[in-house]
Amino acid sequence: ISWYERCLWNRMEDFSTLLEGPTGCGKGAAAAAIGRSGFIPFDTAKQTFSSSFTTTFIPLNLSQFAEGLLESELFGHTKGAFTGAVETHEGVLGLCPPHGSIFLDEIGEIGIPAQVKLLKVLEEREFSPVGSHEKLRFCGRVIAATNRPMDTLRTEGTFRDDFYYRLCSDCIQVPPLAQRVMENPDELIELVEHFTSLITGRKNTELAARVLETIDTYLGRHYPWPGNVRELAQCIRRVILKRNYEGQKEKTQTLQDQLKTGIDSATLTADELLNGYCKMLYGRCDTYEEVARLTGLDRRTIKKRLQQHRAGS
């Protein structure tokens, strides 16, 4: 913090942030928290802050605009710049105040021409509205997000390497809800209490407890939450209205698929991995002796491992 106070508090415009994660996992909320936690200058003459934290964060979903309209939303346009431009329009780059932030959601969806122009803004801190040659300065910070794997986009050639490296001063992986709940079961409790308060307009511990009980009854503790935090919010609304929620039925995974998923997400303990592996081999070999031979364990240990797997499933 002391290093930030001495050297960085007024230089954060040079540090872009890229948030990556699946749809609905809370990238927008994370971006808002980052954008609204920045430095806001205090005007000593007026004895007030120069701007409100609510106006220093400007979000824009890039996927909702066609390429031509996107440039107008980003850079603004002058009156008569194109058909339909009946008045001057200020884009988000111009609206962003000093020490503010713009949030470019779905950055992976924009085309190469828009990437080139945004790259120039990040490098030169200048832009021109559509239909104008005037150079305007961008004094804010860029926070971007995507639900698509950046490595894949860059390999396919749909996302420029130079633009990626200019965006990724700070890369944050926002994990899916199921992984977060697996690592910290209390997070589900906290989220349910938070959304219950938002929905009802007041803190209601008893209602939150009933919602959690219903989720546990209908979905169980290992529901994968394919819609992530967004699905959880709708689940809570459904439970409050109808006292049930069926969730999304996933295709049944084979044990091998379950083990691979657990390994990839690093959510299996050593015991769970070994128990599952022994169960998979037993399904193929059908005898304790053959599984023991393949694993190098004794027959009694194999039987114990299979019992533990059944108890934990």
Is the domain of 114 the same as that of 23? yes
Q: What angle, rounded to 10 degrees, do the helices at 255-264 and 270-285 form?
A: 160
Model pLDDT for residues 5-63, shown as the tens digit of each residue = 566 656 667 789 999 999 999 999 999 988 887 666 666 777 766 666 667 899 999 99
Is the domain of 205 the same as that of 264? no
Examine residue 247 and state whether it is found in any structural domain, yes or no. Answer: no
Is the domain of 39 the same as that of 183? no
Is the domain of 25 the same as that of 164? yes
Is the domain of 86 the same as that of 210? no
- The total of structural domains in the chain comes to 3
Helices of type H across 201-287: 205-218, 228-242, 255-264, 270-285
pLDDT for the residue 51: 61
pLDDT for the residue 310: 76
Is the domain of 16 the same as that of 142? yes
Q: Which of 108-112, 144-148, 243-247, 280-284 has the lowest mean pLDDT?
A: 280-284
Is the domain of 43 the same as that of 64? yes
CATH of the domain at 151: 3.40.50.300
Residue 140: name the closest of 172, 107, 95, 106 by CA.
95
Examine residue 168 and state whether it is found in any structural domain, yes or no. Answer: yes
Q: Are 100 and 36 spatial neighbours (Cβ–Cβ below 8 Å)?
A: no
Model pLDDT for residues 236-262, shown as the tens digit of each residue = 999 999 988 988 866 556 778 788 888
Examine residue 151 and state whether it is found in any structural domain, yes or no. Answer: yes
Model pLDDT for residues 179-225, shown as the tens digit of each residue = 999 999 899 999 999 999 999 999 999 999 999 999 988 888 789 99
Is the domain of 207 the same as that of 233? yes
Is the domain of 115 the same as that of 236? no
Predicted structure pTM score: 0.72
- Supply the range of the domain harboring residue 283: 255-312
The band of 285, judged by pLDDT with boundaries at 50, 70 and 90, is: confident
Cβ-count burial 148-164 (b if 16+ within 10 Å, e if not): bebeebeeeeebbeebb
Examine residue 250 and state whether it is found in any structural domain, yes or no. Answer: no
Is the domain of 26 the same as that of 158? yes
Is the domain of 39 the same as that of 164? yes
Please state, for a pLDDT cut of 90, what percent of the chain lies above it: 55
Is the domain of 13 the same as that of 157? yes
Examine residue 248 and state whether it is found in any structural domain, yes or no. Answer: no
The band of 107, judged by pLDDT with boundaries at 50, 70 and 90, is: very high
